[in-house]
Amino acid sequence: MSILLKSTENYGNVYIDGGVIAEIGCAAYDADTVIDASNKALVPGFVNTHTHAAMTLFRGYADDIPLQTWLQEHIWPLEAKLTDEDVYWGAKLACLEMIRSGTTAFNDMYWHALASARAVDEMGIRAAVSNVFIDIAGESDDAVQKENKKLTERLMKDYSDRITPALGPHAIYTVSEESLLWTAEFAREKDLLIHIHVSETEQEVSDCIERTGMRPVEYLDHIGFLGPNVVAAHCVWLDDSEIALLARHGVKVAHNPVSNMKLAVGMTMRYTALRAAGVCISLGTDGCASNNSLDMLETAKFASLAQKAAANEQTVMPADEALAMITRNGADALRTGSGGGSGSITEGSAADLLLIDLLLPEMTPLHNLSSNLVYSAHGGCVDTTICDGVVLMQNRVVPGEVEILRRASEVTYDLVNRE
């Protein structure tokens, strides 16, 4: 299927064919679909490198509550009752919100992963899908391995190429060393991404030191877990030696500024030190229970402002850098960026693209597109979303959206009232 984006403000005509950007600045070819892109800017689709998509069902359910109470009395009891059907509609709702705010790829870690994969596949975007696992509470290593092998096989076989199988050990304090070691080995053998939470809170660091004599990243290095296939979410509480270890192993850091602030983790991620060490840093929203939105432009603004405020320095994380974090860096972390993948607007790249409406107060005047996008715009400024060369939203309309909103609300009310 071919698409002609006619007269974009920043690239002229752009011709898309077979899921890739075939030609930039070309003549106005005939195409299966012609989109008038005048007064619109073309940008790469955004990449969200840490979320739990189906947690959209918990949006606004329990806010402004101390962390342990929030988890133990509100979130975990509901999660224990989740079904495939709940997760499916929660993930559909997440994908709808992502498409409407310009996200074309995300890194997911949640229960009932196959239900999420089905939702993503149907909605037309990309995701690295992992089934979160926890085995400190008595589950045997054997069960974890069997389950993950089976899920990986199904994620590889039963879904489109837009679904990338990944492994989702929850964190070092919820997964046994045996299972972490197995995860690292299995990931190397099958060339899989690993998605894990690392050093989100100070408590995690002090508990790890007490248990192992090492800080979390040192511990993960010590057991041979770290590598360029690891996407480590949070990485807030790091010391200098841990930053050097992340850089040495090419670990990808997914920074979640909104979630970190909302859950009051007590520290701003050490962005400048991580960047100086050469670590690839991208941005995530985290789940909707701790954000509560999946809007990557909002996340980029929070990230930049939090760093400026913490450093008392206006020049930290300028708009271009924040934008690269939600496009190129995210695509590199999820491996949709190399070898003709997404994250940039070049001929041969995957056609994961957005048209931003420029006829909006937020985008006027247009001195600097990156500045307007990061500091002024929001997901609602995205007019058209294209993923893998398929138009998923045009003129802010996603086919079938009312049904998704209705069903997601229905399963949520049912879940909350379920015995």
Beta carbon nearer to Zn ion, 57 or 358: 57
Kindly tell me which of 31 and 231 has the beta carbon lying closer to Zn ion.
Answer: 231
Is the Cβ of residue 171 or residue 377 nearer to Zn ion in the bound state? 171
Q: Choose between 151 and 265: whose C-beta lies nearer to Zn ion.
A: 265
Closest CB to Zn ion among residues 286, 388: 286
Please, are residues 283 and 256 in contact by the beta-carbon 8 Å criterion?
yes
Report 180-199 residues binding Zn ion (CB under 5 A): none
Closest approach, Cβ 147 to Zn ion, in A, equals 20
CA dist 149 and 151 (Å) reads: 6
Of residues 271-300, which lie at the interface with Zn ion (CB under 5 A)?
A: 286
Quote the CA–CA distance of 16 and 161 in Å, as a whole number: 18
| C-alpha triplet 180, 127, 133: angle, nearest 5° | 25
Nearer to Zn ion, 198 or 358 (CB): 198
Judged by beta carbon, residue 93 or residue 316, the one nearer Zn ion is: 93
Q: Which CB atom, from 170 or from 308, has the smaller least distance to Zn ion?
A: 170
Contact (Cβ atoms closer than 8 angstroms) between residue 167 and residue 192: yes
Q: How far is the CB of 68 from Zn ion (least distance, A)?
A: 16
**Both tokens assigned to 28:** 């106005």
Q: How far is the CB of 414 from Zn ion (least distance, A)?
A: 25
160 bridge partner residues: none
Tell me how far apart the alpha carbons of residues 341 and 21 are, in angstroms, rounded to a whole number.
10
Select 236 or 317, whichever has its Cβ closest to Zn ion.
236
Residues binding Zn ion: number (CB under 5 A): 1
Residue 254 CB, shortest distance to Zn ion, in Å, is 9
- Give the residue from 334, 256, 332 showing the smallest Cα distance to 293: 256
**Site of tokens 């496009």:** 327
Q: In sequence order, what are the residues at sequence separation of 6 or more whose Cβ sits closer than 8 angstroms to the Cβ of residue 190?
A: 152, 165
Between CA 180 and CA 174 the distance in angstroms is 10
Query: Looking at beta carbons only, is 79 or 286 nearer to Zn ion?
Result: 286
* Residue with nearest beta carbon to Zn ion: 286
Residues in contact with 69: Cβ distance below 8 Å, sequence separation at least 6, in sequence order: none
Q: Report residue 137: phi and psi, to 5°.
A: -90, 30
Residue 108, interface with Zn ion (CB under 5 A)? no
Listed in order, strand segments (DSSP E) in 18-151 are 20-24, 33-36, 40-44, 46-51, 103-110, 126-133
- Least separation, in Å, of the C-beta of 130 and Zn ion? 11
141: number of Cβ within 10 Å: 15
Residues 336 and 330: their CA atoms lie apart, in Å, by 8
Compute the distance between CA of residue 352 and CA of residue 389 in angstroms, rounded to an integer. 7
For the chain, give the longest Cα–Cα distance: 66
Q: Which is nearer to Zn ion, 3 or 289 (CB)?
A: 289
Output the smallest distance, CB 288 to Zn ion, in A.
11
Q: How far is CA 199 from the centre of its chain?
A: 18
Shortest distance in whole angstroms from residue 103 CB to Zn ion? 16
Least separation, in Å, of the C-beta of 109 and Zn ion? 7
Are the C-beta atoms of 78 and 314 separated by less than 8 Å? Answer: no
Output phi, psi for 186, to 5 deg: -65, -40
The minimum distance between CB 110 and Zn ion, in angstroms, equals: 9
In the complex, least distance from residue 287 CB atom to Zn ion, rounded to whole angstroms: 6
Cβ at position 144, least distance to Zn ion in Å: 19
d(CA 101, CA 78): 27
Distance CA 53, CA 287 (A): 6
Residues that bind Zn ion (CB under 5 A): 286
